[in-house]
Chains A and B, each alone.
Chain A
Amino acid sequence: MAPWNVNDQRIPQGRLVLFSYVSAALVVLLLVGFWKLQVVQSEHYSDLADKNGIRPIAIIAPRGPMLDREGRVLVDSYPSFSIMLLRDNPKLLEKSLPQIEEGLGIAKEDLEQQLEAAKFEPKFLPVVVKPAASEADIAFVESHRADLPVLELIMVQRRRYPLGEMLANTIGYVGEISPSELEKNPDRYRPGDIVGKAGLEKEYNDQIVGTDGMRRVVVNSVGKVIRTLDNVEAIPGKPIQLTIDEDLQRVAEADFANKAGGLVAMNARTGEVLAMVSRPTFDPNDFAVRIPPQEWAALNSDPNTPLLNRAIQAQLAPGSVFKVVMATAMLESKAIPATFTAYCPGSAVFYGRVFHCDHAHGQVDLHKGIVASCDVYFYNVGQRLGIDRISYYASGLGLGQKTGIDLPGEQSGLVPSEEWSERVNHHKWYPGSTISVAIGQGAVTATPIQLARMITAVANGGTLIPPHLLKDATGLKPGSFPLSDDTVQQLTDGMWGVVNEPDGTTSQTVKLQNVDFAGKTGTAQIESFDLQNKLGKHLKENGWFIGFAPRRNPEIVVAALVQGAGWGSSVAPIVRDVVKAYYDKKNGHFVQPSTAENLPPSVGAQPSAAPSGTQQP
Chain B
Amino acid sequence: MKERAGIQDIDWTLLGIVGAISAIGILEIYSSTHASAMAGMQWKQLMWIGIGLVGMAVVSRIDYHTLLDQAPALYLFGVLGLLVVLVIGYSRLGAKRWISIGGIANLQVSEIMKLIIIIVLARYFAEVRTDRLSLKDLFKIGVLILIPVALILKQPDLGTAMVLVPVAVVGAFFAGIEWKHLLVGAVLIALLIPLAWNMRRHLKPYQQQRIETFLHPEQDQRGAGYQILQSEIAVGSGGFWGKGFSKGSQNQLGFVPVRYSDFILAALAEEQGFIGVCVVLLLYLGLILRLVDNAQKAKDRAGMYVVMGVTAILGFHVLVNASMVIGYMPVTGIPLPLMSYGGSATAFVFLALGLVMSVRMRRFVN
Interface of A with B (CB < 8 Å)?
1-13, 15-16, 19-20, 23-24, 26-27, 30-31, 33-39, 41-42, 44-46, 48-50, 52-53, 88-90, 123-124, 218-222, 226
- Which residues on the B side are within 8 Å of A49 (C-beta)? 233-234, 236-237, 249-250, 255
Q: B254 and A23: CB pair below 8 A?
A: no
Candidates B250, B282, B326; contact of A33 at CB < 8 Å: B326
Q: A45 and B236: CB pair below 8 A?
A: yes
Q: Within the assembled complex, what's the spacing in Å between the Cα atoms of A221 and B292? A: 42
- Which residues on the A side are within 8 Å of B249 (C-beta)? 49-50, 52-53, 218
Sort chain B's interface into a size bin.
Answer: 35 or more
- Which residues on the B side are within 8 Å of A5 (C-beta)? 65, 68-69, 126, 302
Q: Which of B234, B236, B255, B301 has the most CB of A within 10 A?
A: B236
Determine how close the nearest CB of chain A comes to the CB of B358; give it in whole angstroms. Answer: 15
Q: B174 and A38: CB pair below 8 A?
A: no
- Which residues on the B side are within 8 Å of A8 (C-beta)? 126, 129, 300-302
**Known interface pairs A8-B301, A46-B236; A221-B274 also in contact (CB < 8 Å):** no
Q: Within the assembled complex, what's the spacing in Å between the Cα atoms of A491 and B248? A: 86
Candidates B176, B250, B292; contact of A19 at CB < 8 Å: B292
Determine how close the nearest CB of chain B comes to the CB of A253; give it in whole angstroms. Answer: 53
Q: What are 29 A-to-B residue pairs whose CB atoms are below 8 Å?
A: A1-B127, A2-B127, A4-B129, A7-B300, A11-B296, A11-B298, A12-B176, A16-B292, A19-B311, A26-B319, A27-B284, A30-B281, A30-B323, A33-B328, A34-B281, A38-B236, A38-B269, A42-B236, A42-B240, A45-B233, A46-B236, A46-B237, A49-B255, A50-B249, A52-B230, A52-B250, A53-B255, A88-B222, A226-B253
Q: Within the assembled complex, what's the spacing in Å between the Cα atoms of A52 and B236? A: 13
Q: B123 and A15: CB pair below 8 A?
A: no
- Which residues on the A side are within 8 Å of B285 (C-beta)? 23-24, 27
- Which residues on the A side are within 8 Å of B319 (C-beta)? 26, 30
The residue of chain B having its C-beta at the shortest distance from the C-beta of A6 within the complex is: B129
Q: Does B192 contact A (CB under 8 A)?
A: no
Q: Does B235 contact A (CB under 8 A)?
A: yes
- Which residues on the B side are within 8 Å of A27 (C-beta)? 281-282, 284-285
Q: Does B315 contact A (CB under 8 A)?
A: yes
Q: B326 and A16: CB pair below 8 A?
A: no
Closest 9 CB pairs of A and B: A45-B236, A49-B237, A221-B254, A4-B127, A37-B236, A220-B253, A38-B274, A8-B301, A4-B126
Q: Does B215 contact A (CB under 8 A)?
A: no
Q: A38 and B273: CB pair below 8 A?
A: yes
- Which residues on the B side are within 8 Å of A124 (C-beta)? 222
Determine how close the nearest CB of chain B comes to the CB of A2; give it in whole angstroms. Answer: 6
Q: Within the assembled complex, what's the spacing in Å between the Cα atoms of A226 and B249? A: 11
Q: A19 and B170: CB pair below 8 A?
A: yes
Q: A45 and B232: CB pair below 8 A?
A: yes
Q: B277 and A34: CB pair below 8 A?
A: yes
- Which residues on the B side are within 8 Å of A9 (C-beta)? 299-301
The residue of chain B having its C-beta at the shortest distance from the C-beta of A12 within the complex is: B174
Q: B126 and A45: CB pair below 8 A?
A: no
Main secondary structure of the interface of B (DSSP, over half): helix
The residue of chain B having its C-beta at the shortest distance from the C-beta of A51 within the complex is: B233
Q: A19 and B240: CB pair below 8 A?
A: no
**Known interface pairs A20-B292, A31-B278, A52-B233; A123-B323 also in contact (CB < 8 Å):** no
| Further 11 A-B residue pairs, CB within 8 A, beyond A4-B127, A27-B281, A53-B249 | A8-B301, A11-B298, A15-B173, A19-B173, A20-B289, A23-B288, A46-B237, A49-B233, A52-B230, A88-B222, A218-B249
- Which residues on the A side are within 8 Å of B131 (C-beta)? 10
Interface of B with A (CB < 8 Å)?
65, 68-69, 123, 126-129, 131, 170, 173-174, 176, 221-222, 230, 232-240, 249-250, 253-255, 269, 273-274, 277-278, 281-282, 284-285, 288-289, 292, 295-296, 298-302, 304, 308, 311, 315, 319, 322-323, 326, 328
Determine how close the nearest CB of chain B comes to the CB of A154; give it in whole angstroms. Answer: 20
- Which residues on the B side are within 8 Å of A1 (C-beta)? 127-128
Determine how close the nearest CB of chain A comes to the CB of B303; give it in whole angstroms. Answer: 9
- Which residues on the A side are within 8 Å of B236 (C-beta)? 37-38, 41-42, 44-46, 48-49
The residue of chain A having its C-beta at the shortest distance from the C-beta of B173 within the complex is: A15
- Which residues on the A side are within 8 Å of B311 (C-beta)? 19
- Which residues on the A side are within 8 Å of B277 (C-beta)? 31, 34, 38
- Which residues on the B side are within 8 Å of A2 (C-beta)? 127, 129
- Which residues on the A side are within 8 Å of B69 (C-beta)? 5
- Which residues on the A side are within 8 Å of B308 (C-beta)? 16, 19
Q: B274 and A35: CB pair below 8 A?
A: yes
- Which residues on the B side are within 8 Å of A88 (C-beta)? 222
- Which residues on the B side are within 8 Å of A46 (C-beta)? 236-237, 239
Candidates A4, A7, A11, A219; contact of B295 at CB < 8 Å: A11
Q: Within the assembled complex, what's the spacing in Å between the Cα atoms of A291 and B245? A: 52
Determine how close the nearest CB of chain B comes to the CB of A11; give it in whole angstroms. Answer: 5
Determine how close the nearest CB of chain A comes to the CB of B13; give it in whole angstroms. Answer: 15
- Which residues on the A side are within 8 Å of B170 (C-beta)? 19
Q: Within the assembled complex, what's the spacing in Å between the Cα atoms of A233 and B281? A: 48
Q: Within the assembled complex, what's the spacing in Å between the Cα atoms of A31 and B278? A: 7
Candidates A31, A42, A50, A218; contact of B281 at CB < 8 Å: A31
Determine how close the nearest CB of chain A comes to the CB of B178; give it in whole angstroms. Answer: 13
The residue of chain A having its C-beta at the shortest distance from the C-beta of B69 within the complex is: A5
- Which residues on the A side are within 8 Å of B176 (C-beta)? 12
- Which residues on the B side are within 8 Å of A30 (C-beta)? 281, 319, 322-323, 326
Determine how close the nearest CB of chain B comes to the CB of A4; give it in whole angstroms. Answer: 4
Determine how close the nearest CB of chain A comes to the CB of B144; give it in whole angstroms. Answer: 14
The residue of chain B having its C-beta at the shortest distance from the C-beta of A24 within the complex is: B285
Q: B237 and A16: CB pair below 8 A?
A: no
Candidates B68, B174, B222; contact of A89 at CB < 8 Å: B222
